[in-house]
Structure 1
Amino acid sequence: MTTRIAIAGAAGRMGKALIESTHKNSDTTLAAAIVRPTSSLVGVDAGEFGGLGKIDVKIVGDIAAVVDQFDVLIDFSSPAATLANVKICAAHKKPIVVGTTGFSDAEKAELLSYQTQIPLLLSANFSTGVNLCFKLLDIAARVLGDEYDVEVYEAHHRHKVDSPSGTAVRMGEVLANALDRDLKKVAVYGREGQIGARPRDTIGFATVRGGDVVGDHTVMFMADGERVEITHKASSRLAFSNGAVRAAIWLQQQKNGLFDMQDVLGLR
């Protein structure tokens, strides 16, 4: 069965990669590409925008105009746009894969409330490699325990608007859960000045922005005499878009509920 996919946030870097991944996957077809109503891309062929040649799918500025044409929505837009889109998906019983980051606590709570109405898949990162790292981090933290200092480093391109990255935050959540800590209480986002000795239960985050870095993440477990590092480096956004398309195919077969890439990959 072919999964008909719509892409929200199609004008962005990830949107362009998603168009390519969806078009090239033998189990999916690109049913719709959605951008802001004011975008100059409205009416443009999605394939030509994505560098694939003409595929006779016009970019639109209104999800309501195409809601009957797709099976699953993949949304990499903005928090406000995603919340508007998930409301429409819920009304029409359409599963949604969400890759949008930067939600406030209230916005995330609103998003998660739709899990009782439709299959909802939310992930900080759709790369198979990154999700394997999440699993490895959980194992490492439980094995190494409180005897190791833990730090999270991430680097992204100059255009990324949120900091730290959603992936880095998720890594912190995995670590805090494994170590039985409250991330909101122990997270440290940058250091400056005479800060004193490092508290053992701290989970530190360091952020770098510049150039065209797609995404680098490293978690360091440091103790006297040794250091363990778990690193993932992405060289193409296709690592994420291919995973999101894989998630959409999987999600179409699920009942209402909340899922993530750990479920898709069978890593629970």
Structure 2
Amino acid sequence: MTDIVIQGIGGRMGHVLCDMIAQREDCRVVAGIDLHAGEQNGIPVVSNPEDLVGRGDVIIDFSSPAAVEKILPYCEAHKVPIVLCTTGMSDELNLKIVQLSRSVPVFKSANMSLGINLLAELCKRASAILGSAYDVEIVEQHHHNKLDAPSGTALMLADAVNEENNGAYHYVYGRSSVRAKRDPMEIGISSVRGGSIVGDHEVLFCGPDEVITLKHTAYSRSVFANGAINAAIYLAKKEPGLYNMSDLISER
């Protein structure tokens, strides 16, 4: 039985996580961290991680970059593994996460969906076969409450293509301010925000007289929650290091 602490327990993903974990027999929620201390459906909630007093084998974080920065020292001091699902983090914060992983198991992914991570692998494969003769465009769509744009997942997909090409591409996030022919070594990333869209990512490989489209649509937040829970159970048994969905998938 893996004891899980949820940072951001009061948010939408926090509620989804609690509901899904309640249906499982291999883990349980023992505490939550949120802005306001108290109780949520019988689960103790603290605002200061130090008040956890030893609860939890692993932390799942669905919060904000500011909250992530505050939890890292606690994980370091108490050697508590953490699954980071928050996006929109700065380069400086990402560096702190890498440093933490030298002494604590850290799992970090821009998207916890198995399908999205499969999509990233398919993008690599498509890029290797099609080459630079095909222009790459990414369109991501999310609900109107999402704060960061482009999404961390869109950047993850762009990085997958770029890694396959030894970092030869650069990213363009909008073309309205520039009147110029498209650079063949750019990846265009466009963002749509509206309604209650959970998450939609489309990668287009646009070539001479044809377009190949790879697409993933999330219809429920449960796909992200399920991936995060599996990652937490996986991480609780690991040695210090920086892990991602590829590591989890390879051991399935």
Alpha-carbon separation, structure 1, partners of 2:250 and 2:93:
28
Matches within 5 A, 1:220-239: 220-239=204-223
Which residue of 2 is the match for residue 77 of structure 1? 63
Within-5 A mapping of 1:33-52:
33-36=32-35, 39=36, 42-45=37-40, 47=41
Q: Residues 67 and 92 of structure 1 are in contact (CA less than 8 Å); yes or no, is this contact kept in structure 2?
A: no
1:147, distance to aligned residue in structure 2 (A):
1.1
1:140 maps to which residue?
126
Aligned equivalents of 2:127, 2:192: Cα separation in 1: 24
Aligned length: 252
Following the alignment from structure 2 to structure 1, what is the Cα–Cα distance between the partners of residues 115 and 53? 32
Secondary structure class of the residue paired with 2:10: coil
| Counterpart residue number, 1:96 | 82
Q: Is 66-75 or 19-28 further displaced after alignment?
A: 19-28
Please state whether the residue corresponding to 1:140 is helix, strand or coil.
helix
Task: Identify the residue that residue 188 of structure 2 maps to in structure 1.
Answer: 204
CA contact (8 A) 1:152 1:205 kept: yes
SS of equivalent to 2:123? helix
Per-residue deviation, residues 62-119 of structure 1 (Å, max 9, x unmatched)? 2211151100000111112112212101211111000111111111111211011110
Whole-Å Cα distance in 2 between the matches of residues 64 and 169 of structure 1?
Answer: 34
Q: How many angstroms apart in 1 are the aligned matches of 2:167 and 2:97?
A: 25
Using the alignment, how far apart are the partners of 1:267 and 1:254 within structure 2? 12
Change (3 A) 1:229 1:13: same
Match 2:173 to one of 175, 179, 189? 189
Match of 1:219 among 203, 223, 240: 203
Q: Which amino acid aligns with 2:15?
A: K
The answer to whether the aligner puts 1:250 opposite 2:245 as a matched pair is: no
Secondary structure in 2 matching 1:255: coil
Question: Quick one: structure 1 residues 82 and 144, their matched pair in 2 at CA, closer, same or farther if it must change by over 3 Å?
Answer: same
Pairing 1:5-24 to 2, within 5 Å after superposition: 5-24=4-23
SS of 1:58 mapped into structure 2: strand
- Where does residue 155 of structure 2 map in the other structure? 169
Q: Is the 8 A contact 1:135 1:267 kept in 2?
A: no
Secondary structure of the corresponding residue to residue 44 of structure 1: strand
* Residue 64 of structure 1 pairs with residue 50 of structure 2: yes
User: Quick one: distance in 2 between partners of 1:23 and 1:138?
Assistant: 37
Unpaired runs of 5+ residues, structure 2, are none
Q: CA–CA distance in 1 between the matches of 2:212 and 2:47?
A: 47
Kindly indicate whether the alpha-carbon contact (under 8 Å) linking 1:35 and 1:59 is maintained by their aligned counterparts in 2. yes
Q: Deviations over 1:160-214 (max 9, x none)?
A: 000000000111111111122355xx10001115622211111000100010000
Q: What RMSD, in angstroms, separates the aligned Cα atoms of the two structures?
A: 1.5
Q: Aligned partners of 2:162, 2:251: CA distance in 1, in Å?
A: 19
Unpaired runs of 5+ residues, structure 1, are 48-55
Q: Structure 1 residue 126 and structure 2 residue 112: aligned?
A: yes
CA separation of 1:197 and 1:16: change in aligned 2, threshold 3 A: same
The answer as to whether partners of 1:151 and 1:203 remain within 8 angstroms in 2 is yes
CA apart distance, 1:247: 0.3
CA distance, structure 1, for counterparts of residue 200 and residue 53 of structure 2: 36
Q: Which amino acid aligns with 1:43?
A: G
Name the structure 2 match of 1:51: none
* Distance change (3 Å), C-alpha of 1:193 and 1:92: closer
* Consecutive aligned runs of 4 or more in structure 1 exceeding 6 Å deviation: none
- What is the deviation of 1:233? 0.4
Structure 2 residue aligned with 1:53:
none
